[in-house]
Amino acid sequence: MKILVINGPNINMLGTREPEIYGKTTLEDINKELVEYSKTLGDIEFDFFQSNHEGEIVDKIQASKGYDGLIINPAAYTHTSIAIADAIKSLELKAIEVHLSNPQQREDYRKISYTASACVGVIAGFGKESYKLALLGLINKINE
């Protein structure tokens, strides 16, 4: 199984950016933990991509042929990007939206997700464990 993991703007700053909300774990640490966790679930290959630029994220999604699934943390683009939502909708693969924090417990503008409707599920609020839960959910959706 081949999974693409995309992270949006400012996720590269994890570990130092608002640790009271996002924790002290870096994106590199999350990626390593996800790979280690996946070994308990089967033969899974990952490609990781992070960008602060909406168009680069859209391009990466559009170039995702050959993947079985997508885990995406659109970050701030969750609340603004119809372009990313449309790119996900154009895929023939399943996608799970993931967030470290729970947007429903934060500012009102974070409670709206344009990208969630393009995904088969959303995992939010479990910190770095959100990525592992998203992987588990994605595998279940792929195998349905």
Q: Select from 7, 142, 125, 1 the least CA-distant residue to 77.
A: 7
Beta carbons within 10 angstroms of residue 36's beta carbon: 10
CATH number at residue 42: 3.40.50.9100
Q: Which domain holds residue 38?
A: 2-142
Q: How many domains does the chain have?
A: 1
**Which alpha helices (DSSP H) does 7-53 contain, by range?**
19-22, 27-38
Strands 69-73 and 45-50: unpaired
**Which active-site residues does the annotation give?**
22, 99
pLDDT at res. 122: 97
Tens place of pLDDT for every residue, the chain, 144 residues? 999 999 999 999 988 776 676 678 899 999 999 999 999 999 999 999 999 999 999 999 999 999 999 999 999 999 999 999 999 999 989 999 999 987 776 777 777 899 999 999 999 999 999 999 999 999 999 998
How far apart (Å, rounded) are the C-alpha atoms in residues 44 and 100? 22
3-state secondary structure 98-111: EECCCHHHCCHHHH
